[in-house]
Structure formats: structure tokens, C-alpha cells
Amino acid sequence: MAKRRRLVVGNWKMYGRLTSGLVLARDLVEQAEARKPLHFDMVICPPVTLTWAISETIMGTPLMLGAQDCHTATHGAYTGDISAAQLADLGCRYVILGHSERRLKHGESNQLIAQKLEAAQLAGLTAILCVGETAEQLASGSTTDIITRQVQECLPEKYRAAHLVIAYEPAWAIGTGQQPAPDTIAEVHKIIRQALGIAGETVQILYGGSVSPANAEAILLQDEVDGVLVGSASINSDGFWAIAEKCNA
Ligand code: PGA
């Protein structure tokens, strides 16, 4: 079977204003151009306020654009929300869904995430579905059950595997400097592949949670790991590229 192409995703969260965001995007482009052709894919997910400006900056470069969330509907009376089709209009090709910050701080359920995923794929976006256990679930030994349920319940009946990426992001590892051992990450990725069935052979599975230039190599040396989803370390061009280059490991 052909090797899955690797993918590095930067989640800028709610960081960055117009000037700083454009500086970062231009830096990332400059470094991408200097390294062409890339043997992996790179996606940045800035705050939606920056998307249009950055879309113009990265057009025609190896960088691709993503968003951090979308609504379940295509349009309607949903004050403050943004649809997947509107993100596609801005040049987005990916959207992160089910991030633990949305599950825990906005009460998003697996069922809601499944509806968002369906809407995203209908709009032609690739969904980056985040799954992962909390510290309590880890302590109670329920990681396998939680992850399996999240994968099964967050995928609508007719999802398109070709437009799906899964990110294993333990909630306790996000922004904490802690993370599972690389072989534990590989084990969980295998569980995700099993839960996906036949699609598990082709769907890219990323790891996310406190990924840094110092630990990226050990994670990416795991064959099971098809890339990384990077939060705070992605808002520094040199740091993000130092991580991305480990994809060649
Ligand atoms: P972190 O965040 O790399 O800052 O831990 C990862 C994420 O939230 O996707």
C-alpha cells in the first residue's frame, strides 16, 4: 500500500492581529518557497478574521488554508456563526472540528460534531476531526473506549474518507507541555485506525498536544503518525518549520 503523505497543521487559535498575522504568513511562505518541493503538506488555520488577507498571501504557494470551526448549516439566522461554504469562499480547504477547547468550553457533543463534519464535507472541505481523552478519562483507564466512541459518533453515516483527517489530541496534553510517550501515541493511532475499518488504511492520523521542535522528531519517527497538529509552537515561523522538517524523518 502507498505510504500516506504527511501533513503538518498549525492551529493559531485566537492569536494574531492583522499585522502580526500577515508577517507570520509571509515568513512561512518564504521558508516554504526556499524548501520547494515539499514532501509533506502544510496547512495553517488562522483566526477567521485573518483568513481573507492570508488567503491572498499564500495563494499559489505550497501552504494551504484551514479554519478552526464551522456551523452545521449552510446559511440561516445564526448570529455570529460561519458556515463551511463561507469558509470555502475565503479559500479554506480544511477545517478543524471537535477540538477539545470547543468540546470542553462550548459543550460540543459528538453528535453536533458529526453534523458539522457532514456540512464541511458537503462544502468540499477536508475535516480535521480531533479526538482525545481528558486527564480524568486517562486516569480511569477509559482512553480506548472514549476514542473509539468519539471516532464512531463523530463520523456521519456517509462521510468521505478522502476528505477526512483525524487528530489524536489528548485534552490533558494541550498547552501543558505534557504528552503521551511516542509509543503510546502510536498505540492510540492504531486504535483509531481499527475504529475506522477499511478507511483506516488511507486516512491521515495526526498527533497534537504540546508538539515542539524538541519533541517532534520522536513523535514523527512513529510510522503510525502521519503528521502533527501544532498549537502554540505554530505561531513562530522558525519553530513551526523546525517541527515540519521532522516530517522527513
Ligand atoms: P498546543 O495545542 O500545541 O499548544 O498544545 C495543540 C492544539 O490545540 O491543537
Summarised one tens digit per residue, pLDDT across range 107-119 is: 999 999 999 999 9
Q: Whose CA is nearest to atom 8 of ligand 1?
A: 231
Ligand 1 atom closest to residue 130's alpha carbon, by position in its atom list: 9
Q: Degrees (nearest 5) of the Cα angle 129, 131, 137?
A: 170
What is the percent of the chain with per-residue pLDDT over 70, rounded to a whole number?
A: 99
Catalytic residue among 99, 101, 133, 245: 99
- Note if 169 is an active site residue: yes
pLDDT at 248: 83
Q: Is the pLDDT of residue 2 over 80?
A: no
List own/partner pairs for 187-194 with CB under 8 A and 24 or more apart.
Answer: 188/143, 188/147, 189/222, 189/224, 189/225, 190/224, 191/144, 191/147, 191/148, 192/131, 192/147, 192/151, 192/166, 192/168, 193/224, 194/148
- H helical segments located in 123-236: 135-139, 143-154, 182-196, 216-220
pLDDT at 3: 83
- What does DSSP assign to residue 209? S
- Kindly give the pairing relationship between strand 63-67 and strand 40-45: parallel
Active site includes 224? no
Higher per-residue pLDDT: 84 or 1: 84
Mean pLDDT of 10-35: 97
CA of 13 to the centre of ligand 1 (A): 9
pLDDT tens sequence across 181-212: 999 999 999 999 999 999 999 999 999 999 99
Give 88-130 as a DSSP string. HHTT--EEEES-HHHHHHS---HHHHHHHHHHHHHTTPEEEEE
Mean pLDDT of the chain: 97
The label of the residue with cell 471537535 reads 98
| Mean of pLDDT values over 141-161 | 97
Residue 105 C-alpha to ligand 1 middle, in angstroms? 15
Beta strand 227-230 pairing with 204-208:
parallel
- pLDDT higher than threshold 90 for residue 16: yes
Q: Between these two residues, 37 and 1, which has the higher pLDDT value?
A: 37
Q: Is the pLDDT of residue 176 over 80?
A: yes
Residue 6 has pLDDT above 90, yes or no: yes
CA angle 135, 165, 174 (to 5 degrees): 25
Q: In the prediction, which pLDDT does 1 show?
A: 60
